[in-house]
Amino acid sequence: MTDSRTTGPNKTGPNDKMPMTEKEWREKLTPEQFHVTREHGTERAFSHPYHTEKREGMYRCVGCGTGLFSSETKFDSGTGWPSFTDVAAADTVTKHEDNNFGMRRVEVRCANCEAHLGHVFPDGPGSTGQRYCINGCALDLDPGADGDAAD
């Protein structure tokens, strides 16, 4: 018998991080958030206000609240999506090869709930050289929170 829970780390088993059914995710998230984070979709460029957001704080996963990106690493990439040079902590995201649409990219997911966040590219400014191009609807800004992902 198949389980109605999502695949990957969210399936039932001894190493569950955040097991939720598709129905539970749909109740928790807006339709756009569900499409982006659970179905690996992409929001339209320039459609979310976080691409121009200037307030300080911690950008958290909309699915589970994990601190993912500090505003200290946010920059304007001109792409229409919030962009960051680094993650708040190395263990907060996972990276996965993505060869969809005839492109070779690196997908970024929340390490806790497996939410699809966006992609990381090797063309960013600063010492990391990374550009984390993240869907704004996958994030929830916690204004004033410092750069500690555990806050």
Average pLDDT over residues 127-149: 89
Output the pLDDT for position 11: 34
Output the pLDDT for position 23: 95
CB count in 10 Å sphere of residue 25: 21
**pLDDT tens per residue, range 44-86:** 999 999 999 999 999 999 999 999 999 999 999 999 999 999 9
Q: Domain ranges in the chain? A: 19-143
Residues in a beta bridge with 111: none
CATH fold for domain 19-143: 2.170.150
Cα-Cα end-to-end distance for the chain: 40
Catalytic one of 61, 110, 133, 137: 133
Q: Decide if 113 is catalytic.
A: no
Of 28, 43, 61, the C-alpha closest to 139 is 61
**pLDDT tens per residue, range 93-111:** 999 987 777 778 899 999 9
**pLDDT tens per residue, range 10-32:** 333 333 466 799 999 999 999 99
Among 40-49, 78-87, 112-121, 140-149, where is mean pLDDT lowest?
Answer: 140-149
Amino acid at position 54, single letter: K
Note the pTM of the prediction, 2 decimals.
Answer: 0.84
Residue 34 to residue 95: CA distance in whole angstroms:
20
